[in-house]
Every structure is written in C-alpha cells, then in structure tokens.
Amino acid sequence: MANHVELPGVRAWYDDFGTGDPLVMLHGGMTDSGCFAHCTKRLAEHFHLYTPDRRAHGRTPDVDGPLTADVLVQDTVDFIERLTGPTDLLGYSAGGLIALMTALARPDLVRRLVLVSGFYNSEAMPAGMGPDENAEPPEMIARLYAEVSPDGADHFPVVWRKVQRAMRSGPEATIDDLKTIASRTLLVAADDDIVRLDHTREMYANIPRAELAIVPGTSHVLLEEKPDLCTTLILDFLLHDPVQTYMPIQRAR
C-alpha cells in the first residue's frame, strides 16, 4: 500500500506489502522502487516488503541541498527506525552502496544484507563509465522520471547533476570497512555487469560472512533479465541458514 513518511528534511514515498519479517529494498540510482517489480511478488510471500523511493527519485521530491551518500544513509536509518526496526536490507546498484554504508553506520539495524550489483567505491566501473554530470542522460531515464516525479519533467536535469556529483564525491567504504561488516551478506552480480567482477570479488574476499552468486547471461539489469533466478537466490539466502560446506577455502579462515 502506497504511503508517505515524514523524514527529517523530506516527505518520502514508499510502498509496503506482504507478510512476515521486514525486508527493506533500496533501488538503484536514477530509477525508483519499480526496478524491483519482477521480484516482489515472490518475496512478499515470505516477507513484509518496504520499497521506498529515496529523495529526488520516483515519487519522493527533491529538496534543497546536495544529494550525498551521507544524506541517503541517514534517510535509510530514519526510515528503518520509524517503520520497521531491525530488518533485512537489500540494495540494488547505487542502492547497494547505501545499504552497505547503512550496515556500517548502524549494524544494530541490519540483520542480513543483500547487495545486487552493489559496490563500495566509485572505482567499481570500468574506465570511461564513471559519473559525468555533463553527459547527456539516457532518454528512457528522463522519461521514467517525468512519469512519476512530483517535481515534474523540467526538474530532471537538476537531479541528474546532483546524482552525478554525489557519485563522484563519495563518501566511500574502504577495504578495512568491509572487514567490519557484521551482517551475513549475499553478493549477487551479473557475469556482464557494469560493476567490475574483480570489484565484486574484492567485496566477497573481505566481508567476513559473505556469499557470492554470479548470474550467467545477464547484465546490470539482471533483476529484469532473469528475475526468477535472482529471486530464488535471494530467497534461498534469506530463508535458510548457511550449510556446512565440505571443502571450505575462503571460509576456512
């Protein structure tokens, strides 16, 4: 059911549905919670889903000031504290960075962590694919923004520049930060992702309780390309304790 919640500085839109323990889902950059549409039906059979549109995205308006990771992490903390309490947290793409930073800032609020095509710093993408506020935004992104934003289509260039600046300026996590993540963590990535596979592998090697799934034959929009497989991997992780493996290598440490 669509709702609004008053967070410090912004009136945020969110949807919630399903039954069970809470699962908060954070969408990617320059998109909105609709990016999870192919996965939510099955997830809602087991969890009470909360899918907020973060500030300046989707149905949540932009507000004065920069759109920094610190601001978005605090919005996430405020959202969880007001609506769910300690929760499982899933982040896709840039939402994965916000989810990871939330787990670092407030480990008491994050039970299990799922990062789908997530990353921990701005070096995650190949050379030439990083943020550029002067680049022409894809027409599809501008159109989707205009369809739902309360700020209207004319405001899109402002948000585009804010997002590009935020991606370029950080803050970012470090390898030492990754080593302190307490939550059991699932990393899901495409085999042809814009997030470099060695970056994902680095996260897997340093997050203490990490598990890794590479989805074959997919790109960065793997939740749309193979939603059933992605959802099965996520549910298997969230609904079951880890199995005892017979020949551990990384986990042997």
Predicted TM-score (pTM) of the model is 0.94
Average pLDDT, the chain: 93
pLDDT of residue 133: 58
pLDDT of residue 251: 84
pLDDT of residue 116: 98
Among residues 199, 184, 194, the alpha carbon closest in space to that of 222 is found at 194
Q: Do residues 155 and 181 lie in contact, with contact meaning Cβ atoms separated by under 8 Å?
A: no
Dmax (CA) of the chain: 58
Note the pLDDT tens digit of each residue in 141-182: 999 999 999 999 999 999 998 888 887 666 689 999 999 999
Higher pLDDT, 169 or 129: 169
Mean predicted confidence (pLDDT) in 179-192: 98
Task: Say whether pLDDT at 130 is over 70.
Answer: no
Q: How many angstroms separate the CA atoms of 159 and 48, rounded?
A: 30
Note the pLDDT tens digit of each residue in 206-234: 999 999 999 999 999 999 999 999 999 99
pLDDT of residue 128: 52
Q: How many angstroms separate the CA atoms of 164 and 56, rounded?
A: 13
- Structure-block tokens of residue 46: 């087991």
Note the pLDDT tens digit of each residue in 38-71: 999 999 999 999 999 999 999 999 999 988 889 9
Task: Say whether pLDDT at 117 is over 90.
Answer: yes
Higher pLDDT, 58 or 127: 58
- Structure-block tokens of residue 230: 């992605």
